[in-house]
Amino acid sequence: MKLGVDIEELKAAKLTDAEIELLPKYIDGELEFYDSPAFNKLFEYYCFETGEMPYGTAKARDGMPDEWILDLLTPFRELRNHVGGRW
């Protein structure tokens, strides 16, 4: 699994600016990520467009798809915090 995503990937997944701004709240557990519009778009992107999400994870057999996506997003959020920037 790769570590992190960039803004171009989030845009390629068709996330709106408002959805991108909510990502830190999903990562921190302040908002429910599963079944949110951002989750649905990122799930679609990583399952069907890029094929990066493992099949067993996509089917929730050997991992949870929401956790897989949040794990992918976490390093990007940490980098953003270090530079004091926005998503």
Domain segments of the chain: what residues?
7-83
**Tens digit of each residue's pLDDT (9 = 90 or more) over 24-48:** 899 999 999 999 999 999 999 999 9
15 or 84, greater pLDDT: 15
Q: What is the 3-state secondary structure (H, E, C) of 7-58?
A: HHHHHHCCCCHHHHHHHHHHHCCCCCCCCCHHHHHHHHHHHHHCCCCCHHHH
87 — pLDDT class (breaks 50, 70, 90): very low
Q: Could you give the percent of the chain with pLDDT greater than 70?
A: 82
Cβ within 8 Å of residue 44, ≥6 positions away: 13
| pLDDT on residue 15 | 97
User: Of 63, 70, 86, which is closest to residue 17 (Cα–Cα)?
Assistant: 86
75 — pLDDT class (breaks 50, 70, 90): confident
